[in-house]
Amino acid sequence: MKHILKISLLTFTVLLGACTDLEEQPFSEIFADEFYKTEAEFEAAQATVYSTMSILSDWRLEGLDMESDAIAIPQRGNAWGYDGFKQFERHRILSTEQRMMGSFWAGLYKGIMTANATLETFSLAEQSDLNALYSAETRLLRALFYMYLIDMWGDVPLVTASRVETTNLAGRESRSVVFDFIESELLEVAQVIPSRGESDALPFPRVTKETAHALLATLYLNAEIWKGQAMLDECVEQCDKILKNGNYGLVDNYFDLFKVKNEDASREILLYLDIEAGITNGNLPTVNRSLTDTYIKDLYPSFPSKGQNGMCVQPYFYNMMDDDDIRKSEGLLAGLVIGKNGEPLKESGQEINHKVEFDYWDAGLFDGVRITKWEVDMGAIGIFNSHGVPLIRLADIMLQKAEALIRKSGPNAVSDDLINQVRARVFDPALHSEKLRSGYTLEAVYWERGFELLSEGHRRRDMVRFGTFTEASKDLKGDGSPWYEAHSADYILWPIPQGDMDANPNLKQNEGY
């Protein structure tokens, strides 16, 4: 699977090099006329668009789950005192120069501009079914990037050309206009890209028709926030188009989804981020930024990166989880950490004890439950992993449909069945009679999504949709006050990075900044 991307990127480099000495014609015309003849050549060009998705690996966790009630990097003495982390965890980005936020904006627009350039080049080649397929796939990825932009920034520049004149820089289009663009693009490409199971289906990890339906379902579920009108029926319709395809299904073992080599779990995965260390250089912070170095070296002595002892689960969130839930008992690391020799592990002269409760502003050295659901990649290159990351999977879609139906008409049997299917695999079957129930409410869906999708980059968006993002933290400081106070809805949207504001006079800053 991952060799496809590697070969394609190398091929694209060779193709670029082959054209450098031809000056008589515009580069794009030569490229299209000479090279877009075979599927391998289309794949080579499109691989550059897929490679820009690596911005989502680090950021889905650091930005989108840290700015929620799920994950935090508390200050531990003099360590982890970076104010950028604190801004996320207070749910208030106060600086327009916050570098992590700025890198996400830049990375998303890099993906968009790369997609635009690729589409323009495809348009110059012979128009064929193959061209139409690769163009549709590229448009889907561009729509994905725009979805993240309207989620985080609201009104954003809508650019579909690969070159923008400095005298005519794009201003911000309304969130609703960009929403409509994303919707129209996804509806159109869904008519072109084959379904999984069809004879001409694209090989995993490339996208399918159901990927477009999954993005549309997400778009519609959040339409009341993003467009100003509820589109719950449309969300259910898109979910049903996925659920009726028997080539998708929940995998039996929850943790198979988070292995380094997780191709065997592909039947549950609708959108996949294929990271290759040394090629796309993605990163999963749950491994190197969360775990202690002593723990990693004890269990994985040849792991090439140092554990940084930072990221952990917020106490209230952890305590809301059922003790019998394997997502808690096996996917999180709490309490005294025991080494391979059966003795407690020590670091800096202290036993490693991941206490559940901690003060975000003054945490003990090892306080905080750690996330271990992601397998450690022994082939990592420094901090860069080769994980495959599920960006959207079937459990998410099942919970989306359940939520939409409950929002429409309250607790119902269809939603109960969907939620129980997700829960059934994370509890011992002997406990099903008490753990699988009926009458699930919106609050139950809210927490089930949090537990099922922890560290996968969904929690912030869910909190905004459920109206909890602006509430005060339920976790408390040592003096009994909340980690952060309730705050203005202005801070739901991030500020436009100051460098872009300075470079483009047509941009207007979000309210509150």
CB atoms within 10 A of CB 99: 11
- CA angle at residue 46 from 41 to 49, to 5 degrees? 155
Q: In one letter, which amino acid is 199?
A: S
DSSP H or E segment with residue 393: strand 388-393
Q: Report residue 143 as tokens.
A: 């729509």
108, 111, 115, 118 alpha-carbon torsion, rounded to 10°: 160
Digitized pLDDT (tens) for each residue of the chain, 513 residues in all: 444 444 343 333 332 333 333 333 444 444 566 678 889 999 999 999 998 998 887 766 667 888 999 999 898 888 887 777 777 777 777 777 777 788 899 999 999 999 999 999 999 998 999 999 999 999 999 999 999 999 999 999 999 998 888 888 999 999 999 999 999 999 999 999 999 999 988 899 899 999 999 999 999 999 999 999 999 999 999 999 999 999 999 999 999 999 988 888 999 999 998 876 555 556 666 677 888 989 988 988 877 778 888 899 999 999 999 999 999 999 999 999 999 999 999 998 899 999 999 988 889 999 999 999 988 876 666 666 667 889 999 999 999 999 999 999 999 999 999 999 999 999 999 999 999 999 999 999 999 999 999 999 999 999 999 999 999 999 988 888 998 899 889 889 999 999 999 999 999 999 988
405, 409, 414, 417 alpha-carbon torsion, rounded to 10°: 90
Backbone angles phi, psi at 432, to 5 degrees: -60, -35
What's the number of CA atoms in the CB half-sphere (13 Å) around residue 246?
0
Tell me the C-alpha distance between 347 and 351, whole Å.
Answer: 6
CB of 271 closer than 8 Å to CB of 388? no
Give the pLDDT confidence score for residue 19 in this predicted structure: 33
Backbone angles phi, psi at 431, to 5 degrees: -100, 0
Backbone angles phi, psi at 262, to 5 degrees: -110, 25
CB of 116 closer than 8 Å to CB of 94? no
DSSP 488: -
Give this prediction's pTM.
0.91
Largest CA distance in the chain: 74
Q: In one letter, which amino acid is 266?
A: S
CA-based torsion, 443, 476, 451, 91: positive or negative: positive
CB of 106 closer than 8 Å to CB of 59? no
Tell me the C-alpha distance between 260 and 250, whole Å.
Answer: 18
Can the peptide bond before residue 203 be classed as cis, meaning omega within 30 degrees of 0? no
Alpha-carbon distances, residue 200 vs 71, 137, 196, 273 (angstroms):
41, 14, 9, 22
Strand 71-72 and strand 353-354: the pairing is: unpaired
Give the pLDDT confidence score for residue 304 in this predicted structure: 77
Q: In one letter, which amino acid is 456?
A: E
Specify the 3-state DSSP secondary structure of 360: coil
Specify the 3-state DSSP secondary structure of 416: helix
Specify the 3-state DSSP secondary structure of 83: helix
Specify the 3-state DSSP secondary structure of 127: coil
CB of 367 closer than 8 Å to CB of 351? no
Tell me the C-alpha distance between 167 and 161, whole Å.
Answer: 15
Give the pLDDT confidence score for residue 32 in this predicted structure: 60
Specify the 3-state DSSP secondary structure of 237: helix
